[in-house]
């Protein structure tokens, strides 16, 4: 397994069980690989494979970490470390509802959020089924999302509990300002004038995501940070950059829109990854002590809600832009009876 961020140890009274949908690839007792729809993690050392496999066999939701370690004949510290890694990968969940170290929970909920996001949006705007208007709509709504960052990041800055967090979020917002301008240039290359772009508005379904983030930034700072961890480019997620490169190359090859239109959107992904935006959102959790079960459930619900809202945002693009013949954005001039 890759090196992971050091986090405080889990409570030995937690009762863990495998998360539904996670695939545990085994060879006999040994656990070789953990796979979700967005990430796969291999366990390299044969000794770790055996210990992980024995521990996993003991996890039924009724057995504490301490008892599982004894039954699996694994030292307490080693068992805790292994199970903590699986928890942080989003492969295990706690049934005992014990307090959880904040950073461990952040990694857990972000890993699960990436799966929820994938599931909520699966099959809606797949590259292979994109048409010119659908791709155009995807880019326009992406532009609105980036351009509206100020509306929720500014609120998060005001709500951030420490000066350090306020500064980090301020830097993030400054990045997004320039990113929004560069995406706008891309849309101009698709033939949109300044005034058309000024009058463009996010689809109601995209606005719902933005409004959700705005409200969460105001009322639930840790939930907001967890949403940021799911949405922003992940750190240290090996292979992801190559997968994205492959997707972009396929998209270019289909000639749905001129390369010059796509270029800033492609560059934006690379810029976000280089700026390591995904790493920012763990910071509020590093500053926190253990999270009570109620706090964890609330953060989880917020992240799920955002993922579902993104699913609706993607469907909104299909409904509106899928019915368009011209490359024109949804705007204040769009008739309200339109099914958007």
The residues of the shown chain that bind Fe ion, judged by CB under 5 A, are 176, 179, 272
**Whose CA is closest to 89, among 23, 144, 180?**
23
Q: Hey, what are 127's tokens?
A: 């590259």
Nearer to Fe ion, 73 or 245 (CB): 245
Q: Which is nearer to Fe ion, 274 or 292 (CB)?
A: 274
Residue nearest to Fe ion (CB): 179
CB of 57 to Fe ion, least distance (A): 43
Task: Supply angle C-alpha 150, 156, 159, rounded to 5.
Answer: 140
Q: Which is nearer to Fe ion, 265 or 320 (CB)?
A: 265
Residue 56 backbone phi and psi in degrees, to 5: -60, -40
Put residue 204 in one of left, alpha, beta given phi > 0 → left and psi -120 to 50 → alpha: alpha
Q: C-beta of 214: minimal distance to Fe ion in Å? A: 18
Task: Provide the minimum distance between the beta carbon of 291 and Fe ion in the complex, in angstroms, as a whole number.
Answer: 28
Report yes or no: 130 and 146 within 8 Å, Cβ to Cβ: no
102-121 helix and 293-321 helix, angle to the nearest 10 degrees: 20
Nearer to Fe ion, 105 or 143 (CB): 143
β-pair type (40-42, 92-94) = unpaired
- Please, what is the minimum distance in Å from the beta carbon of residue 275 to Fe ion? 7
Minimum CB distance to Fe ion, residue 176 (Å): 5
**189-194 — which CB contacts under 8 Å span 24+ positions?**
189/258, 189/260, 189/261, 190/136, 190/139, 190/257, 190/258, 190/261, 190/327, 191/327, 192/327, 192/328, 192/329
Q: Measured from the CB atom, is 81 or 275 closer to Fe ion?
A: 275
Smallest gap from residue 145 Cβ to Fe ion (A): 10
Q: How many angstroms separate the Cα of 213 from the Cα of each of 131, 145, 173, 206? A: 29, 11, 14, 11
Q: Residue 108 or residue 268: which is nearer to Fe ion going by CB?
A: 268
State how far the alpha carbon of 258 is from the alpha carbons of 172, 194, 197, in Å. Answer: 29, 19, 18
Please identify, using beta-carbon distances, which residue of 174 and 323 lies nearer to Fe ion. 174
Shortest gap between Cβ of 203 and Fe ion (angstroms)?
Answer: 20
């Amino acid at each position: 397994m890759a090196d992971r961020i050091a986090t405080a140890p889990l409570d030995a009274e937690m009762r863990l069980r495998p998360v539904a949908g996670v695939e545990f690839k085994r060879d006999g007792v040994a656990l070789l690989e953990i796979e979700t729809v967005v990430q796969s993690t291999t366990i390299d050392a044969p000794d770790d494979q055996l210990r992980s496999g024995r521990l996993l066999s003991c996890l039924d939701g009724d057995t504490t970490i301490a008892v599982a370690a004894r039954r699996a004949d694994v030292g307490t510290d080693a068992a805790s470390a292994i199970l903590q890694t699986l928890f942080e990968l989003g492969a295990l969940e706690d049934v005992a509802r014990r307090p959880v170290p904040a950073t461990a929970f952040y990694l857990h909920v972000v890993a699960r959020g990436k799966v929820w996001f994938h599931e909520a949006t699966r099959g809606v705007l797949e590259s292979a089924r994109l048409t010119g208007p659908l791709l155009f709509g995807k880019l326009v709504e992406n532009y609105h999302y980036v351009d509206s960052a100020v509306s929720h990041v500014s609120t998060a800055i005001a709500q951030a509990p420490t000066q350090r967090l306020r500064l980090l979020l301020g830097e993030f917002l400054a990045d997004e300002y320039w990113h929004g301008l560069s995406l706008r240039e891309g849309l101009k290359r698709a033939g949109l004038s300044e005034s058309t772009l000024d009058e463009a508005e996010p689809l109601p379904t995209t606005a719902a995501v933005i409004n959700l983030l705005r409200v969460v930034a105001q009322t639930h700072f840790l939930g907001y940070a967890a949403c940021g961890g799911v949405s922003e480019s992940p750190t240290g997620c090996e292979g992801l950059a190559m997968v994205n490169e492959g997707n972009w190359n396929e998209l270019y090859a289909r000639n749905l829109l001129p390369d010059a239109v796509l270029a800033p959107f492609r560059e934006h992904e690379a810029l976000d990854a280089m700026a390591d935006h995904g790493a920012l959102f763990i910071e509020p959790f590093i500053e926190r002590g253990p999270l009570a079960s109620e706090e964890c459930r609330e953060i989880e619900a917020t992240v799920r809600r955002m993922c579902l809202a993104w699913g609706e945002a993607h469907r909104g693009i299909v409904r509106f832009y899928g019915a368009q013949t011209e490359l024109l954005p949804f705007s204040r001039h769009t008739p309200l009876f339109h099914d958007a």
